[in-house]
Structure 1
Amino acid sequence: MLAIVLGMVIVICGVLFLRMHAFLALFLGALAVAAATSPLSVSQSVLHRLTSGISEVQGNQIVLSDVEEGLPKKPGAYYITFNSPDGGAKQEPLVVWVDRFAEEDNVTRAFVAHELPNDIDLAGARFVSQDTYREAKQLSGSSAINRVANALGSTFGKIGILIAMASIIGQCLLSSGAAERIVYGIRHAMGERWTALAFVVSSFVLAIPVFFDTVFFLMLPLAQAMAQRSGKDYLKYVLSIVVGGTLAHSLVPPTPGPLFVATELNVSIGAMILGGIGVGIWGVIAGYFYMLWANRRWQIPLRIEAEEAIAEEPNDESDLPSFWFSVLPIVIPILLLGLKTVSQTALPASTSEIWITAISFLGDKNIALSIGALLALATLFCKPAMTWVGLSKSVQKALSEGGVVVLITCAGGAFGEVIRQTNIGAAIADSLPSTVGGTGLLVTAFMITAIIRVIQGSATVAMITAIGIVVPVAMQIGLPFHPVYLALAIGCGSKPLPWMNDSGFWVISRMSGFTEKETLKTFSVLLTIMGLVSFLATLVFAILIPLA
Structure 2
Amino acid sequence: MLAIVLGMLIVNCGVLFLRMHAFLALFFGALAVAAATTSLSVSQSVLHRATAGIAEIQGNEIVLTDIEEGLPKKPGAYYIASDPSFVQSKQEPVLVWVDRFEEEDEITKAYVARDLPTDMEVASARFVSQDTYREAKQLAGSSAINRVADSLGSTFGKIGILIAMASIIGQCLLSSGAAERIVYGIRHAMGERWTALAFVISSFVLAIPVFFDTVFFLMLPLAQAMAQRTGRDYLKYVLSIVVGGTLAHSLVPPTPGPLFVATELNVSIGAMILGGIGVGIWGVIAGYFYMLWANRTWQIPLRIEAQEAIAEEPNAESDLPSFGFSILPILIPIVLLGLKTVSQTALPASTNEYWNTAISFLGDKNIALSIGALLALATLFCKPAMTWVGLGKSVQKALSEGGVVVLITCAGGAFGEMIRQTNIGAVIAESLPSSVGGTGLLITAFMITAIIRVIQGSATVAMITAIGIVVPVAMQIGLPFHPVYLALAIGCGSKPLPWMNDSGFWVISRMSGFTEKETLKTFTVLLTIMGLVSFLATLVFAILFPLV
Deviates more, 1:288-297 or 1:139-148: 288-297
- 1:141 has 2:132 as partner: no
Alignment of 1:374-393 (within 5 A): 374-393=374-393
**Residues 419 and 456 in structure 1, CA contact (< 8 A), matched pair in contact too:** no
Find the aligned partners of 1:199 and 1:108 in 2 and give their Cα distance.
55
Q: Which residue of 2 aligns with 1:479?
A: none
**1:276 Cα deviation (Å)?**
10
**Residues 445 and 470 in structure 2, CA contact (< 8 A), matched pair in contact too:** yes
Counterpart of 2:223 (choices 230, 236, 240) is 230
- 1:78 has 2:79 as partner: yes
**1:78 Cα deviation (Å)?**
0.4
Counterpart of 1:445 (choices 441, 444, 466) is 441
Find the aligned partners of 2:397 and 2:539 in 1 and give their Cα distance.
48
Deviates more, 1:122-131 or 1:27-36: 122-131
**1:177 Cα deviation (Å)?**
1.0
Q: Which residue of 1 aligns with 2:227?
A: none
The secondary structure found in structure 1 opposite 2:53 is strand
**1:182 Cα deviation (Å)?**
0.8
What TM-score does the superposition give when structure 2 sets the normalisation length?
0.73
**Residues 152 and 410 in structure 1, CA contact (< 8 A), matched pair in contact too:** yes
Residue 467 of structure 1 aligns with an amino acid whose one-letter code is A
**Residues 40 and 85 in structure 2, CA contact (< 8 A), matched pair in contact too:** no
The CA RMSD over aligned residues, in Å, is 5.0
Find the aligned partners of 1:389 and 1:421 in 2 and give their Cα distance.
47
Q: Which residue of 2 aligns with 1:207?
A: none
Find the aligned partners of 1:230 and 1:219 in 2 and give their Cα distance.
16
**1:116 Cα deviation (Å)?**
3.0
Paired-residue identity, %: 60
**Residues 73 and 108 in structure 1, CA contact (< 8 A), matched pair in contact too:** no
Greater Cα radius of gyration, structure 1 or 2: 2
Find the aligned partners of 1:319 and 1:470 in 2 and give their Cα distance.
57
Find the aligned partners of 1:356 and 1:544 in 2 and give their Cα distance.
30
Alignment of 1:256-405 (within 5 A): 285-286=285-286, 311=312, 314-315=315-316, 317-405=317-405
**Residues 236 and 292 in structure 1, CA contact (< 8 A), matched pair in contact too:** no
Find the aligned partners of 1:20 and 1:530 in 2 and give their Cα distance.
30
Q: Could you say if the C-alpha distance between residues 110 and 288 of structure 1 is closer, same or farther in structure 2, counting changes exceeding 3 Å?
A: farther
Deviates more, 1:461-470 or 1:337-346: 461-470
**1:223 Cα deviation (Å)?**
5.3
The secondary structure found in structure 1 opposite 2:97 is strand
Find the aligned partners of 1:525 and 1:108 in 2 and give their Cα distance.
52
Counterpart of 1:494 (choices 482, 490, 495) is 490
Find the aligned partners of 1:149 and 1:545 in 2 and give their Cα distance.
39
Residue 80 of structure 1 aligns with an amino acid whose one-letter code is A
**Residues 10 and 28 in structure 2, CA contact (< 8 A), matched pair in contact too:** yes
Q: Could you say if the C-alpha distance between residues 113 and 489 of structure 1 is closer, same or farther in structure 2, counting changes exceeding 3 Å?
A: same
Find the aligned partners of 2:278 and 2:286 in 1 and give their Cα distance.
14
Q: Could you say if the C-alpha distance between residues 332 and 174 of structure 1 is closer, same or farther in structure 2, counting changes exceeding 3 Å?
A: same
**Residues 251 and 280 in structure 2, CA contact (< 8 A), matched pair in contact too:** yes
Counterpart of 2:474 (choices 467, 476, 492) is 467
Find the aligned partners of 2:430 and 2:545 in 1 and give their Cα distance.
32
Deviates more, 1:65-74 or 1:274-283: 274-283
Q: Could you say if the C-alpha distance between residues 376 and 219 of structure 1 is closer, same or farther in structure 2, counting changes exceeding 3 Å?
A: farther
**Residues 82 and 94 in structure 2, CA contact (< 8 A), matched pair in contact too:** yes
Find the aligned partners of 1:84 and 1:412 in 2 and give their Cα distance.
29
Residue 490 of structure 2 aligns with an amino acid whose one-letter code is S
What TM-score does the superposition give when structure 1 sets the normalisation length?
0.73
Find the aligned partners of 2:395 and 2:484 in 1 and give their Cα distance.
42
Find the aligned partners of 1:396 and 1:528 in 2 and give their Cα distance.
37
**Residues 56 and 64 in structure 2, CA contact (< 8 A), matched pair in contact too:** yes
Alignment of 1:518-529 (within 5 A): none
- 1:132 has 2:132 as partner: yes
Q: Could you say if the C-alpha distance between residues 240 and 328 of structure 1 is closer, same or farther in structure 2, counting changes exceeding 3 Å?
A: same
Structure 2 gap ranges (5+):
225-233, 453-461, 496-500, 511-515
Q: Which residue of 2 aligns with 1:215?
A: 208
**Residues 42 and 139 in structure 2, CA contact (< 8 A), matched pair in contact too:** yes
Residue 7 of structure 2 aligns with an amino acid whose one-letter code is G
Find the aligned partners of 2:96 and 2:468 in 1 and give their Cα distance.
31
Q: Could you say if the C-alpha distance between residues 220 and 90 of structure 1 is closer, same or farther in structure 2, counting changes exceeding 3 Å?
A: farther
Q: Which residue of 1 aligns with 2:168?
A: 168
**Residues 170 and 220 in structure 1, CA contact (< 8 A), matched pair in contact too:** no
Superposed CA deviations along residues 155-187 of structure 1, whole A, max 9, x for unmatched, are 111121111111111111111111111111110
Residue 363 of structure 2 aligns with an amino acid whose one-letter code is G
Q: Which residue of 1 aligns with 2:155?
A: 155
Q: Could you say if the C-alpha distance between residues 544 and 490 of structure 1 is closer, same or farther in structure 2, counting changes exceeding 3 Å?
A: closer
Superposed CA deviations along residues 362-418 of structure 1, whole A, max 9, x for unmatched, are 111111111111111111111111111111111111111111111112111111111
Find the aligned partners of 1:124 and 1:530 in 2 and give their Cα distance.
48
Superposed CA deviations along residues 500-547 of structure 1, whole A, max 9, x for unmatched, are xxxxx99x979x9999xx9xx99999887666556667889999999x
**Residues 489 and 535 in structure 2, CA contact (< 8 A), matched pair in contact too:** yes
Q: Which residue of 2 aligns with 1:266?
A: none
Q: Could you say if the C-alpha distance between residues 324 and 218 of structure 1 is closer, same or farther in structure 2, counting changes exceeding 3 Å?
A: farther
**Residues 164 and 399 in structure 2, CA contact (< 8 A), matched pair in contact too:** yes
**Residues 182 and 327 in structure 2, CA contact (< 8 A), matched pair in contact too:** yes
Residue 494 of structure 1 aligns with an amino acid whose one-letter code is I
Structure 1 gap ranges (5+):
204-213, 261-269, 475-482, 500-504
Residue 414 of structure 1 aligns with an amino acid whose one-letter code is A
**Residues 448 and 493 in structure 2, CA contact (< 8 A), matched pair in contact too:** no
Q: Could you say if the C-alpha distance between residues 291 and 58 of structure 1 is closer, same or farther in structure 2, counting changes exceeding 3 Å?
A: farther
**1:189 Cα deviation (Å)?**
2.0
- 1:243 has 2:244 as partner: no
Find the aligned partners of 1:389 and 1:108 in 2 and give their Cα distance.
67
Q: Could you say if the C-alpha distance between residues 141 and 173 of structure 1 is closer, same or farther in structure 2, counting changes exceeding 3 Å?
A: same
Superposed CA deviations along residues 5-44 of structure 1, whole A, max 9, x for unmatched, are 1111111111111111221111111111111111111111
Find the aligned partners of 2:475 and 2:544 in 1 and give their Cα distance.
27
Deviates more, 1:409-418 or 1:285-294: 285-294
Q: Could you say if the C-alpha distance between residues 199 and 417 of structure 1 is closer, same or farther in structure 2, counting changes exceeding 3 Å?
A: farther
Find the aligned partners of 1:361 and 1:154 in 2 and give their Cα distance.
22
Superposed CA deviations along residues 450-508 of structure 1, whole A, max 9, x for unmatched, are 5775598366665543333334xx9xxxxxxxx56x98986675356549xxxxx99x9
Q: Which residue of 1 aligns with 2:195?
A: 192
Q: Could you say if the C-alpha distance between residues 464 and 33 of structure 1 is closer, same or farther in structure 2, counting changes exceeding 3 Å?
A: closer
Find the aligned partners of 1:118 and 1:397 in 2 and give their Cα distance.
67
Q: Could you say if the C-alpha distance between residues 70 and 445 of structure 1 is closer, same or farther in structure 2, counting changes exceeding 3 Å?
A: same
The secondary structure found in structure 2 opposite 1:116 is coil
**1:238 Cα deviation (Å)?**
4.7
Find the aligned partners of 2:373 and 2:485 in 1 and give their Cα distance.
37
**1:99 Cα deviation (Å)?**
1.9
Q: Which residue of 1 aligns with 2:36?
A: 36
The secondary structure found in structure 2 opposite 1:123 is helix
Residue 378 of structure 1 aligns with an amino acid whose one-letter code is A
**Residues 420 and 472 in structure 2, CA contact (< 8 A), matched pair in contact too:** no
**1:4 Cα deviation (Å)?**
1.1
Q: Could you say if the C-alpha distance between residues 513 and 116 of structure 1 is closer, same or farther in structure 2, counting changes exceeding 3 Å?
A: farther
